[in-house]
Amino acid sequence: MSDVLSAYSVVEQTWHERSNQIEQGYQQALEAPAVSKNAESRLQDVHESFAMDFMRIAELEQLHREAMLIVLQNELEHGLNALCRDVANAMQSKIKFTDLNDRGIKRAWSYLKKVADFEFSSLQKEQSVIADVQEIRNIIVHAGGTIKDKKILAIVNKYEWFSGREGAAVEIKPEFMKEYVATLHQCLDRVSEQTQSFMERTIRAYKATPTASRNV
């Protein structure tokens, strides 16, 4: 996650520098001597010319943030799914995480809790945030980022790092990445602790099993 955040910061800085360059060019154009007697018309041309540049940068920034949100959710899902497979192998369980009715991240949480006895009571806040971000991820992937109903709008209004209105595209603010990655780190630290506890339980159970029964 830290590598993803570092890569995001590098690209975000690029957009910031480009925006500053456009702003400087805009100010210079405003201050330049008029080339015609129609000053009002000249100012309108300057505004229109640079407005397109500003809009393009804003659009690229949003596309980048949307892409990074999707990357984070995919990485989390793939990591949890891999953990579920490892847990199933360690337990020699006939129940696989794909047997559960849920999907994606929610299914992985359910499997680790119900089948492997992971304890997630202290992670309810983080899991709620992750579930909300997953809803935003889904509308980005399947609806072009459009806030399609009041449920999604409620999620958008819950966080300072999102904004938008129903029927329009969700806006992801610059602070999203840093704050959300911090949430993921807290979550994954807890998952790591639970994985260690699971391994210890599994080893104790294995040692308690009669030797003749271990390979049966």
> What stretches of 32-102 show up as alpha helix (H) in DSSP?
39-91
Instruction: With a cut of 70, say whether residue 5 has pLDDT above it.
Output: no
How many domains are contained in the chain?
Answer: 1
pLDDT value at residue 23: 75
Range of the domain at 179: 2-213
The two structure tokens encoding residue 111: 């499997």
pLDDT value at residue 100: 92
pLDDT value at residue 77: 96
Q: Which of 147, 174, 167 is nearest to 62 (CA)?
A: 174
Give just the sign of the alpha carbon dihedral 20, 21, 26, 32: positive
pLDDT value at residue 69: 96
pTM of the model: 0.81
pLDDT digits (tens, 9 = 90+) for 104-133: 999 999 999 999 999 999 999 999 999 999
Average pLDDT taken over every residue of the chain:
86
Residue with tokens 């456009």: 22
CA distance 8 to 1: 11
CA atoms within 13 Å, Cβ hemisphere of 185: 11
155 within 8 A of 132, measured Cβ to Cβ:
yes
pLDDT digits (tens, 9 = 90+) for 173-214: 989 999 999 999 999 999 999 999 999 998 888 787 766 455
pLDDT digits (tens, 9 = 90+) for 19-61: 777 777 767 776 766 555 566 666 677 667 777 777 787 888 8
The two structure tokens encoding residue 169: 């595209």
> How are beta strands 171-172 and 162-163 bridged, if at all?
antiparallel
pLDDT digits (tens, 9 = 90+) for 54-104: 778 788 889 999 999 999 999 999 999 999 999 999 998 999 999 998 899
Mark residue 22 as left, alpha or beta (left: phi above 0; alpha: psi -120 to 50; beta: remaining): alpha
pLDDT-derived band at 154, boundaries 50, 70, 90: very high
pLDDT value at residue 44: 72
